[in-house]
Chains A and B, each alone.
Chain A
Amino acid sequence: MSYNVNNKGYYGEFGGAYIPEMLYPNVEELRQNYLKIMGEPSFQKEFNQLLKDYVGRPSPLYFAKRLSAKHKTKIYLKREDLNHTGAHKINNTIGQILMAQRLGKKRIIAETGAGQHGVATATVCALMGLECIVYMGEIDIARQAPNVARMKMLGATVVPALSGSRTLKDATNEAIRDWINNPVDTHYIIGSVVGPHPYPDMVARFQSVVSDEIQWQLYELEGTTKPNYVVACVGGGSNAAGAYYHYLEDTEVKLIAVEAAGLGVDSGESAATSVLGKEGIIHGSKTLLMQTKDGQIIEPYSISAGLDYPGVGPMHANLYKTGRAEFISITDDEAMKAGLELCKLEGIIPAIESSHALAIFEQKKFKPNDIVVLSLSGRGDKDLDTYINHFKL
């Protein structure tokens, strides 16, 4: 059994492309070309060069000594927070902008929740001189003002999504509608391992640089390419997909996926998709999603705007279903506490998304000799207001 995508675009029973006919030519064009384009030496060269010189890769694999001492195990942080623009999101947008150029696209659209993916998209559009339109829920625009300002400075047009619950899922709907309305010249840079095939696979491949680096970095530090555990938070699942990618088939390496429990899994204000979700279709993919008994999609809640997505990528739905990954839910309070702990112990202010991953050490005990690699997916600059309000700092 493979945990990666099959040739029909499914991970086990999850995935596929449940899209209206209006999107078929766009998605089909991408499906037919993405592997070929990614395999071209000139693509690889440009991609790797930009990751190195522009993003600042490889990102360090840092042994967190004081955090490790506190939790009595060996914790390595994969420092995606040190990337240009402050999160792992840029690995994907660099890849997709090069893809868009090779497909001859002139106009780029994207959705964003917290604004990290929007900023990463606006950044690569500025880099390549392409028009950029970012859809963002009206509510998120209000609560993520600094990222809205950054996108504007980078030359992007930020369009408020006014429909539905006016957050990430609705921004995604609006981006898809834009793509229906602009079927020829536009590429949609989706921000996670979600959406119709081939997006989950393409985004996972662009993010796979993370576990590629972990392998050789860990070898230099510990003399082995294999950690005992790889831990990552899961919104749509892209930083986790990147951190897991080269370990998917190696079951000696245990995978831990951390979801946002919001105010608590049973509180009605949660984003813990694996626990609360049921198989269904969201944004063109068959996966686990939070929905009513009637099949209407439920708006999730998390203190972290990057984790409040009602679905999860099909790769992760399959990792859950097969038991390949262990899923843990972390509440707002637990995440915030773990975020502050990292500040105090290691001098690193993490994104609240990443703080969810950090909080598992209070729930799960590891052995002193276990090597735990944790994806520190982003930095906390964008979250200062939320931290300050939460702790009344």
Chain B
Amino acid sequence: MNRINKKLQEDKKLLSIYFTAGYPNLNDTVTIIQDLEKSGVDMIEIGLPFSDPLADGPTIQASSTQALKNGMTTEVLFSQLKDIRKSVNIPLIIMGYFNPMLQYGVEAFCKKCAEIGIDGLIIPDLPVDVYNEQYKATFEKYELINMFLITPQTSVERINFIDSISNGFIYMVSSASVTGSNSGFGDEQTKYFKRIAEMNLKNPQIIGFGISNNETFTQATTHAKGAIIGSAFIKHLTNNGVNTITNFVSSILK
């Protein structure tokens, strides 16, 4: 069974952390992953940096720009991760935009992910219908789970369709916004979280975007299986470097 599915069956709320590979320094990738696992994180999204990340706010944009300047490429990331399964057991997901994957070759990319022990992908700008028609078979061949996003504006029919073709978790974007907003969650979000929870979808939901601390993590996981933190963790790395990752994680899980 894929590590993601196994993890989703555990009887606990899940914390997933996103970071941009190659940031703050080119070769921090493995250390960050190992420390996140040691700190009690359940799942990791390794961001493959892109020059033009449309769905991201300033924090992830800046970390991507820096990572590219540091020399991060698809090849470099794969070589950094080559032995990652010798030391890390939690699910690993690569999150990135579609163009770098397309240039690498979608099949070659999937094959490499499978060799390394990557469990799934999140590709915000690969539309559901294109995936379904052109790439689903390839992903399945390499036993990679592709996670799709839904937002407060996604229609009920579309949510049901996305649920029907998913077999991991559904990535619930908390509000209509790019990554990195931290205005907290109000009534509107709570209503949306409840509305989705009550749909009893076959795939568990994990909420992302706008989760930055223990309070927002708790709010999100009251209605969902887990939550994803990205920008807040990147900010932590910017301010504190890679040595105090445990402090950050315990401030969320306290």
User: What is the interface of chain A, defined by CB distance below 8 A to chain B?
Assistant: 16-22, 24-25, 163-164, 169-170, 173, 176-177, 180-184, 278, 280-284, 291, 293-297
Bound Cα distance A202, B253 (Å)? 49
Cβ of B102 and Cβ of A20 under 8 Å apart?
no
User: Which of B68, B125, B150, B176 contacts A284, CB < 8 Å?
Assistant: B125
Chain A residue contacts of B74, Cβ below 8 A? 294-295
State the Cβ distance, B46 to closest chain A Cβ, in Å: 16
The 10 closest A-B CB pairs, nearest first, are A295-B103, A295-B100, A21-B149, A296-B51, A20-B124, A25-B153, A295-B99, A20-B55, A281-B99, A183-B176
Residues of B within 8 A of A18 (CB): 98, 125-127, 130
Asked whether any CB of chain A lies closer than 8 Å to the CB of B177, the reply is yes
Asked whether any CB of chain A lies closer than 8 Å to the CB of B151, the reply is: yes
23 A-B Cβ contacts within 8 A?
Answer: A18-B125, A19-B125, A21-B151, A22-B149, A22-B176, A24-B158, A25-B153, A25-B154, A163-B62, A164-B51, A164-B52, A169-B52, A170-B52, A177-B55, A180-B54, A181-B176, A278-B103, A281-B125, A291-B99, A293-B103, A295-B101, A295-B104, A296-B68
Interface of B with A (CB < 8 Å)?
50-55, 57-58, 61-62, 65, 68, 73-75, 97-104, 124-128, 130, 148-151, 153-155, 158, 173, 176-178
Q: Is the CB of A177 within 8 A of B57?
A: yes
Given the complex, which residues of A lie within 8 Å of B130, measured CB to CB? 16, 18
A-B contact count (CB 8 A): 110
Given contacts A22-B173, A180-B176, A294-B73, 16 further A-B contacts (CB under 8 A): A17-B127, A18-B130, A22-B149, A163-B61, A163-B62, A164-B61, A173-B54, A177-B54, A180-B178, A181-B176, A181-B177, A181-B178, A183-B153, A184-B153, A293-B103, A295-B99
Whether A180 pairs with B153 at a CB distance below 8 angstroms is no
Interface-centre pick from A176, A281, A284 (highest chain B CB count, 10 A): A281
B51 pairs with A297, CB closer than 8 A:
yes
Instruction: Using CB atoms, name the residue of chain A closest to B103.
Output: A295
A163 touches B99 (CB 8 A): no
* A283 CA / B100 CA spacing, docked (Å): 14
Most chain B Cβ neighbours within 10 Å, of A22, A164, A173, A180 = A22
Question: A296 contacts which chain B residues (CB < 8 A)?
Answer: 50-51, 68, 100
Do B154 and A24 touch (CB < 8 A)?
A: yes
Are B126 and A280 in contact (CB-based, < 8 A)? Answer: no
Q: Closest Cβ of chain A: how far from B80's Cβ, in Å?
A: 15
Quick check: B54 and A176 within 8 Å, CB to CB? yes
Query: Which residues in B have their C-beta under 8 angstroms from that of A170?
Result: 52
CB distance from B56 to the nearest CB of A (A): 8
Smallest distance from the beta carbon of B203 to chain A beta carbons, Å?
15
